[in-house]
Structure 1
Amino acid sequence: MMWVTTSTTTKTLLFNKFNFHFSKYKQKHFTLQLRLMSNAKTARVSDSSSPSHASLKRVGTHNGSFHCDEALGCFMIRLTRNFFNAQIVRTRDPQVLEGLDAVLDVGGVYDPSRDRYDHHQKGFEEVFGHGFSTKLSSAGLVYKHFGKEIIANELKVDEEHQNVHYIYLAVYRSFMEAIDAVDNGINQYDTDQPPKYVNNTHLSSRVGRFNLDWTDPDQSSEKENEAFHRAMALAGSEFLDSVRFHVNSWLPAKSIVMETIAARQTVDPSGEILVLKRFCPVS
């Protein structure tokens, strides 16, 4: 019988080599698991020639080049009770659009009673209200009519809860209004001076880069719909990040500030001195 002995150095090398390959194996399979999980959550996005899914509501938007507003609008409306996980149908065919359960950013009609949310038609001047004057995009229209429901679901409270209203306004001010303004070509500042630099890093620009490049040999509707889904995912994730920031950070800070204001007379009779009992951001 022959015995094979190895030095400590050799054992270490073999052990490290095993760990390296095992780590690569785990990484490969973990990445595959993530991809499968991601695919399982993929929205059904189709063109007008795709078969319908009778058990699902169908939400329409236009095909071709897309912008942040319809990508975000489609994401948000699929979070609601009536349109949860709805199929997205991308077409400009009026007959197809007429038969859909909701239509965003196409069709030339704004009629919430019929779930029609376009903003391109002549005479459209709808704004969010509550002191905001920026004309709405399709995303702003969806948020105006469904935002409280989405926020209430995140807070797990009734839509009429006061905190829902607070966050509804705060998310519009800090996130949604910019989407509306960019889509409608509204400048951030009242000035005729040219900008000192170009900013293509904001959400609307990043969503726009998902559009198929003219050099891509595959310009099929399937490839375009895949790109639109990625745009929905990006816009939607940032929207949810904003909502959850306001739920988990902004709202508790607001509560501390409101309690401090309510107790200001106990600090000084003038009521002009506020004492925060703990640190919190104030905005």
Structure 2
Amino acid sequence: MYLFKRRNDLRHHLEQAKLKGQTIGFVPTMGALHDGHLSLVAAAKEKCDIVVCSIFVNPTQFNDPKDFEKYPITIEQDIVKLTDAGTDVLFLPSVAEMYPEGLASGKHYDFGNLEKVLEGEFRAGHFQGVGRVVHKLLDIVMPHQLFMGQKDFQQCLIIKELIHLLALPVQLVVCPTRREADGLAMSSRNVRLNAAHRQQATDIFKVLTAIRDQFGKVPNSTLSKEAMTQLKKDGFEPEYVEIITLRNGQVTREDAPSADKTVAVVLAAWLGGVRLIDNMILQGQL
């Protein structure tokens, strides 16, 4: 596996590959890798000739400085995992390399209501930071395909909109959420849960499954309210549980959505000082 820390060196390496007619698959991450990330690498290996993975904890997408400080850093273990997974290239830039212009300035992206609801409501500025760093990374790597996980549902919608807004020549491939045997969605933040909270966290999957089983039989708003109540009863501090319908790339809340639209339940909840997010598609596909 090749490791690059400077954008120009990476660009030159990938340009040589493209001259040979090789296709590039890209998996952007913030490190603290788990099997969910590695499943994206595996998907990229199936579809592309060269797999590029990046590890960069992006400061501009953290609305809470304490959350940024607590984000787990496991570079040495990550390199071993990526090597064993057959990753071809790792991009490991510094903040100065990614933001030579500084963190304060930057392009504004018009994501519409997509960045103001759900995660956007509770994490002001988060998706502008996500859009900014992904735009930079795509400009550097210039991949044919971009691989992301469904667990970050709204982020996938944001990146899909980013690609549309900028007419970027890349295909977004959204891969299914990888889960532990007990249903908990794999996440880098899970390592911050103590043993009791780790076991308790599986209640999130139970809530999602209950909504899936009742979807179409009970009004969506009722299902959301009941799920919020259940999470509170189980000891969580839920921020939202919403059943959403996707219309033209934007999010709407409808009790009786059209049969031809994608519908999903998305949620965010705190447990033991750790913020957990998850989702489940109820109808259609992302």
Could you state the TM-score of these two structures normalised by the residue count of structure 1?
Answer: 0.23
Larger radius of gyration: 1
More strand by percentage: 2
TM-score (norm 2): 0.23
